[in-house]
Amino acid sequence: MALRQVRLVAGADLDGFRRAVRALVAAGVPPEEVDWIAADETSLFGDALPPDAPPLSLPRPVGELIRAAVPHRDPERYGLLYGVIWRVLHGERDLLEVASDPAVHRLEIMRKSVKRDIHKMHAYLRFRGVGGVQDPGPERYAAWFEPDHFILEAAVPFFAERFRAMIWTIVTPIGSAHWDRERVSFGPPGTRADVPVADAFEEGWTGYYAATFNPARANPKLMQQHMAKKYWRNMPEAAAIPALIRSASSRVDAMLEGEPTVPLKRKPEGALAAMLDQAPASLAELNAIIRAAGPLVPGATQAVVGEGPERAGIVFVGEQPGDEEDLTGRPFVGPAGRLLDRAMAEAGIDRKDVYLTNAVKHFKFEQRGKRRIHAKPTAGEVSHYRWWLMRELELIEPRLVVALGGTAVLALTGKSVPITRARGPTELLEHFAGYITVHPSYLLRLPDEDAKRSAYAAFVGDLQRVRALGEASAPRRTRAA
């Protein structure tokens, strides 16, 4: 039996693979007759195969598995995928549901590994300023990252979205990506030496990390378990850790003698203080600081920053990101977010027009078996994150700020106020018109269906009032002090 050699471009050649699969299926070539080779040249899968074979009709989960597994480093990925595609097209339509099938099992492991790698890149990549004060152009940033798989193209849209206002380049051993504030272009691989060593911004947030580092929670083993050394090495805040851990026990003693909230309320000093005094000029800058600061309580995958137009008329403030938000890096995408979306749509509010954020920017949880159970933030944690929430509001200057639930009220007013009493328009927010309502997760927790229905109707009613109060005719409030 003559093997058909299919050459694909090195890395994650999704287009080449798709074209080759269509051609092979059209020509009736079974998996055992194909030899998949990932090479450096462009796809040369052969004159013998028709170049424009028609697209295949595959179940959606198969398409998703292809996208998710192609970036894996395993040279056998293409062969395994083609084997699965072939079987699905030849009668085993529900093959992916057979988790014990060896090919499905291996591909599932690859999918998870690629997904984890993308999350790590999103969470651990750090941009550094490039160019000095004498450089008159817009600020430029660069970052070095070493992914385990060929994930650059899959991971980069996240950065384009989050750091839209910056010009940046990401350099990796598998390729580079450049964002010019309009589009991403991909280029050749590079080395760590292509990225400058440190900048003032970095010094600032290393200082910040030191100021907020809680020695009582220092657990180097846990830190390293969550983060391989190759990531750690590239994170400026890591430079502060050994010294902080060395001084941890004396700092714990000092904490015990001092106020219980010392590390949360400690006033930042030095470079960071200067940076904070200046207040970030944009949400992108503010969000870069939040990301750089890292979680107060270890465990979160990444910071979940606010989402929505920079000049939104209405800002919704929730409590803290949940499990799905932590994994995706976006606020309100889990069960409570879906309920909020539905209620907003019924109230005539388009999610795209409003800004959604949280009082606390990192997920805190208790691990129970495989599940990560939401843990309510303490008042100290809420106060730690307050600085960011206030800067967000100052930058957006909304017409109306909506507090969803008690934690948001606490964050916005500094007071613990019962929602049942304060629900509705409020003057409690000093600088902004406010509205207080329940958190959508409260509706999800109600045990009986009737109570759920009427609570949901009341929530939609609140959102209708919110829409009216946030209409464009209302004035934007003055900046907070």
Interacting residues with ligand URA (CB under 6 A): 318-322, 325, 331-332, 334, 336-337, 358, 441
Q: Which is nearer to ligand URA, 195 or 412 (CB)?
A: 412
Sheet holding 355-358, edge to edge: 355-358, 314-318, 400-404, 434-437, 424-426
Minimum gap (Å) between residue 437 Cβ and ligand URA: 13
Minimum gap (Å) between residue 161 Cβ and ligand URA: 17
Q: Which is nearer to ligand URA, 192 or 351 (CB)?
A: 351
Residue nearest ligand URA, Cβ-based: 318
Q: Which is nearer to ligand URA, 144 or 332 (CB)?
A: 332
Minimum gap (Å) between residue 334 Cβ and ligand URA: 5
Q: Which is nearer to ligand URA, 71 or 321 (CB)?
A: 321
Minimum gap (Å) between residue 459 Cβ and ligand URA: 14
Minimum gap (Å) between residue 410 Cβ and ligand URA: 13
The tokens describing 206, both together, are 């290393």
Minimum gap (Å) between residue 432 Cβ and ligand URA: 19
Q: Which is nearer to ligand URA, 236 or 322 (CB)?
A: 322
Q: Which is nearer to ligand URA, 83 or 321 (CB)?
A: 321
Q: Which is nearer to ligand URA, 232 or 442 (CB)?
A: 442
Minimum gap (Å) between residue 322 Cβ and ligand URA: 4
